[in-house]
Amino acid sequence: MYMEPSEFWKVYVGTVSPLEFMYNHKTQEPAVGAHKFLENFPKLFGVVRRANWQSTFCSETQFNREEVECALTSFIDNAREEWESQLHQIFLDEMQNQTRSQDSAEGFTIQSDNFLTEENQYNIEVITDEPMNDQESYEEHSE
């Protein structure tokens, strides 16, 4: 039995778009995405399960991992124009957001490293949990 790559897609992936599929597998390479998808896919003696084992063995042909991976790769590759530029932009935006977050965190670290200067240490020492009720106590702490 011969199946088109789009038929493999419907049977094994379902309604997920190629863009969602590639994003979920964090790759821009169709073969890598198909391989990652099938890594945890149930198999028995090399046969890749369809919706369930009963439907797998009731079908005329049972497909092995390599056949399914090749068909999915072909389908994704044929649909490349639909997802490639969008996926690239999504990954680029995520990298920029991650860089901004790291820059913010590093800026915070740098500020906190410079926090304990001599002037600030003095101010920190003056702050106590003890109440200052009279002028003498205030003068002791402010020297």
Higher pLDDT, 62 or 139: 62
Sequence-distant (6+) residues with CB within 8 A of 88 are: 28
Q: Is pLDDT above 90 for 33?
A: yes
Element (H, E) at 48: strand 47-48
Query: What is the reported pTM?
Result: 0.62
Higher pLDDT, 142 or 11: 11
Do 5 and 79 contact (CB within 8 A), yes or no?
A: no
Which amino acid belongs to residue 30?
A: P
DSSP 83-109: HHHHHHHHHHHHHHHHHHHHHHHHHHH
Q: What count of residues does the chain have? A: 143
> What digits encode the pLDDT tens for the residues 36-85?
999 887 776 667 877 787 777 777 788 888 999 999 999 999 999 999 99
For the chain, the first-to-last Cα distance in angstroms comes to: 92
Most confident stretch, 48-52, 91-95, 97-101, 126-130 = 91-95
